[in-house]
């Protein structure tokens, strides 16, 4: 059984998270990875272009990346910025950094599933993702199994938390 405690020490300048255990288990590794992921997810910024200016956008504010007219863009809730990387390069980077909530859903889009509101299947068999900002993204059948695997793994993780 894992015990969690929080100790507030006003004199401490830099916050430190320690995991104390007798041996490293799968559960401890997952906990450590999750903590690192949460810390990094909020601090990583993606360099983008807003016309002629370079701006850095926090990764956790990006709803999706998409390509159009041979350019790649990062979309946030309100704005869209050009990214000087290829979609596959962004996908590789996000995979290496273990940001598993970013999933390739088509040849032209990588979606942050933290912003997915619903998945809709039409009568004709087309599949769409609707984001929290009501943006509608078509899903390619080729990538549907990746999405299904992500949803199933998320549900399994939720069941394990209970």
pLDDT score of 18: 85
Tokens standing for residue 118: 């619903």
Handedness of CA 150, 116, 105, 48 (dihedral sign): negative
Q: Give the residue among 103, 144, 61 at the shortest CA–CA distance from 74.
A: 61
DSSP string of 20-83, one letter each residue: --SS--HHHHHHHHHHHHHHHHHH-EEEEEETTEEEEEEGGG--EEEEETTEEEEE-SS-EEEE
pTM score, whole prediction: 0.74
pLDDT score of 35: 80
Q: Give the residue among 31, 55, 27 at the shortest CA–CA distance from 17.
A: 31
Which element (helix H / strand E) includes 7? none
pLDDT tens string, the chain, 162 residues long: the values are: 778 888 888 888 888 888 888 888 888 888 877 787 777 777 788 999 998 899 999 998 999 999 999 999 999 988 999 999 999 999 998 888 778 889 999 999 999 999 999 888 888 888 899 999 888 999 988 888 888 888 887 766 555 555
């Amino acid at each position: 059984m894992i015990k969690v405690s929080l100790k507030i020490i006003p004199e401490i300048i830099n916050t430190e998270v320690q995991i104390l255990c007798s041996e490293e288990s799968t559960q401890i590794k997952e906990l450590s990875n999750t903590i690192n992921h949460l810390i990094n997810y909020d601090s990583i910024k993606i360099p983008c272009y807003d016309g002629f200016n370079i701006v850095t956008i926090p990764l956790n504010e990006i709803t999706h990346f998409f390509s159009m007219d041979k350019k790649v863009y990062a979309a946030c809730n309100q704005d869209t910025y050009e990214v000087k990387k290829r979609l596959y390069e962004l996908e590789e980077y996000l995979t290496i950094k273990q940001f598993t909530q970013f999933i390739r859903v088509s040849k032209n889009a990588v979606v942050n599933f933290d912003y997915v509101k619903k998945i809709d299947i039409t009568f004709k068999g087309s599949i769409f993702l609707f984001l929290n900002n009501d943006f509608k993204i078509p899903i390619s059948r080729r990538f549907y199994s990746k999405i299904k695997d992500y949803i199933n793994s998320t549900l399994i993780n939720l069941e394990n938390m209970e």
